[in-house]
Amino acid sequence: MTGRRILLLASTVLGMALTGALGRWQLERAAEKQAVLATEQAAQILPPVDATALVAARSAADVGALAQRKVLLQGQWIGARTVYLDNRPMGQRSGFYVATPLRLAGGGGDVLVLRGWVPRNFDDRLALPQVETPVGQVHVSGRVLTRVPSLFALGQESPGPIRQNIDLPAFARETGLPLSAAVVQQTGGPSEGLERDWPPLVSGADTNYSYAFQWFSLCALMGGLFIWFQVVRPLRSNRRRRSGP
């Protein structure tokens, strides 16, 4: 075997090992996401969490243990701190997620609640939609989220009521509110001008399976090209020479 063929063989083996490893890693990530989804789906049928347990969850691990659990809260809306999260679709319509802090009854602290969705005014993109925010004690049923769903954004968020995302610790510093580390997604039928047809839970594993397929395909392509150009074609050429006149 010539030095050139040895170099090609080594490069092919290295490339196949790398792409194969990347494909296996994507399958492992998909399995992890499927496991998380199964855990969250199981949490949805557990008994509701009370406000005390929600406020007591401080670390990411604590909040993660409560993810997708039902929760029942009582308190007062802090309407002046309502934020409208832009570019959030629901039912193939564009609009806002409306997030308002809830001051828990009994001085238990404050919790940011994703109250629902409202369509936007396309004639005036800066116009705030009409949302009713009741005064006085309210009862809120929902599910625990580990964070506010976010979108890709360039630069820092503006301090106004219309924003792309909310960073919970930064929002707590901005408002001076003792916000819980968890977020609540309010459930139930439409009310107060808001819809709550939240998207179903998905694992996102399909993306990893797609990447895994691409890596394994590239791995097979490198092996196939090496066999074709370095084994099959030389053998066919030798046979032609031997069978020639």
99-126, pLDDT tens digit by residue? 999 999 987 889 999 999 999 887 787 7
pLDDT at 84 over 60: yes
What's the CA gap between 99 and 115, in Å, rounded? Answer: 6
pLDDT at 245 over 60: no
pTM of the predicted model, to two decimals?
Answer: 0.81
Higher pLDDT, 152 or 55: 55
At residue 173, the pLDDT reads 93
pLDDT band with cut points at 50, 70 and 90 for residue 130: confident
At residue 114, the pLDDT reads 97
Q: Are strands 70-77 and 83-90 parallel, antiparallel or unpaired?
A: unpaired
At residue 1, the pLDDT reads 62
122-131, Cβ contacts within 8 angstroms, sequence gap of 24 or more: 126/162, 128/84, 128/161, 128/162, 129/84, 129/95, 129/96, 129/98, 129/193, 130/193, 131/82, 131/98, 131/192, 131/193, 131/194
If we measure between CA atoms, which residue out of 197, 182, 204 comes closest to residue 68?
182
Question: Which whole number is the average pLDDT over 49-62?
Answer: 89
pLDDT at 150 over 60: yes
Higher pLDDT, 245 or 85: 85
Q: For 192-244, write each residue's pLDDT tens digit.
A: 999 999 988 998 999 999 999 999 999 999 999 999 888 888 888 777 777 75
If we measure between CA atoms, which residue out of 243, 215, 241 comes closest to residue 15?
215
Q: For 19-55, write each residue's pLDDT tens digit.
A: 999 999 999 999 999 999 999 999 999 999 988 889 8
Q: For 132-145, write each residue's pLDDT tens digit.
A: 999 999 999 999 99
